[in-house]
Amino acid sequence: MREIIKEDPKKIKIDIQKIHAFRKRDKSSLIPETITRHVEKAYDLFCQFAVPVSIVTEVTCSQFQSIYSGAGLNEPRAPLDDIMTDNAVYLLFAMTLGSDVSLYISDLFKKGEHLLGHLLDEICSTGIEVFADEITGMCFAGEVSKGTLNNNDIMLRYSPGYCGWHITGQKFLHKYLKSQGIGIRLTENCYMEPIKSISGVMIGCSTSLHDFNKNYPFCIDCRTKTCRKRLVVNGIRNSS
Ligand code: SF4
């Protein structure tokens, strides 16, 4: 299965109140009018210039192992080594908002419109994550309806460049996905262009497999602890 899914940017459910500029002011009673006005303008630009599209391809466990191994540069111990099992569903993915919106952000900064540029950048970063969540939810529902997963399972995403999966893994992932078909290309350093793009693997399996201990050597330097936060969000762990 290789599926290309396009989305109307207006249908991506971005919670505007949660974007960075508002989060910083959670405790203040009033959001400056200039911020509100610029957020609205930035959201309009997102709807006008973002072209959300994703590509999703199912692979077997052994195919994913080979893609994940890449050039042999992954950390010796990493979460994906512990999660991988034959009893899981593996969906490679790449998603982008297209080049127009990224170019628009650069132009805003070049023209000195830093506030609008920053807000559009924030909305795009939130938008691509929400888009990814929607696609993941859709794929999970599809697997449940096929009977390959059940409602007690969960599907989470992992990406090259994080948690021990070396960034050069992008080369193997994108070659397999043929993601140039949706306009994504890799730089020499394996970063994606357009910049508002994400890629990796969705793994659907029992919740316990995703609930690994964060005791890998590189976790000491991790500032986000994203793996913990999403277990909380998905109700697998409590916040304490
Ligand atoms: S603590 Fe950070 S580096 Fe370690 S697995 Fe979790 S998200 Fe990845």
Name all domains of the chain by residue range, CATH numbers in brackets. 2-233 (3.40.109.40)
Closest by alpha carbon to 203, among 65, 89, 60, 63?
A: 89
CA distance 192 to 7: 20
Which residue do the tokens 């000491």 mark? Answer: 220
CA of 30 to the centre of ligand 1 (A): 36
Q: Which atom of ligand 1 is nearest to the CA of 221?
A: 3
CB 151 within 8 A of CB 132: no
pLDDT at 103: 95
Q: Is the CB of 83 under 6 A from ligand 1?
A: no
Q: Is 219 in the pocket of ligand 1 (CB under 6 A)?
A: yes
14, 24, 37, 82 from 28: Cα distances, Å: 22, 9, 17, 44
Question: Alpha-carbon distance 19 to 229, whole Å?
Answer: 17
Q: What's the pLDDT score for residue 24?
A: 59
Query: Which of 157, 158, 215, 226 to mutate to test ligand 1, by most ligand atoms within 8 A of the CB atom?
Result: 226
The single-letter DSSP state of residue 41 is H
Ligand 1 pocket test, candidate residues 166, 219, 232, most atoms within 8 A of CB: 219
From the CA of 219, give the closest atom in ligand 1. Answer: 4
Contact 91, 201 (CB under 8 A): yes
In sequence order, what are the beta bridge partners of 227?
none
Residue nearest to atom 8 of ligand 1 (CA): 163
pLDDT at position 25: 58
Specify whether the CB–CB gap between 120 and 45 falls below 8 A.
yes
> Does ligand 1 lie within 6 Å of residue 226's CB atom?
yes
Tell me the DSSP string of 66-84: HHHHTTS-S-SS-HHHHH-
Q: Does the bond joining 194 to the residue before it have cis omega, within 30 degrees of 0?
A: yes
Atom of ligand 1 nearest to the CA of 226: 7
| Residue 231 CB–ligand 1 contact under 6 Å | no
* CA-closest residue to ligand 1 atom 4: 219
Q: What is the pLDDT of residue 55?
A: 98
Beta partners for 94?
A: 55, 199
Going along 30-106, which residue ranges are E strands?
Answer: 53-59, 89-96
- In order along its 240 residues, the chain shows pLDDT tens digits of 789 999 999 999 998 877 776 665 556 556 778 888 899 999 999 999 999 999 999 999 999 999 999 999 999 999 999 999 999 999 999 999 999 999 999 999 999 999 999 999 999 999 999 999 999 999 999 999 999 999 999 999 999 999 999 999 999 999 999 999 999 999 999 999 999 999 999 999 999 899 888 789 999 999 998 988 888 888 877 765
Q: Does 79 sit in the ligand 1 pocket, CB within 6 Å?
A: yes
The letter for the amino acid at 191 is Y
DSSP-derived letter for residue 134 is: H
Distances in Å between the Cα of 79 and the Cα atoms of 33, 38, 158 are 45, 40, 9
Determine the distance separating the centroid of ligand 1 and the alpha carbon of 216, expressed in angstroms: 8
Which ligand 1 atom lies nearest to the CA of residue 162?
8
CB of residue 160 inside a 6 A radius of ligand 1: no
Please name the residues in contact with 123: beta carbons below 8 A apart, sequence gap of 6 or more: 14, 16, 19, 39, 42, 43, 46
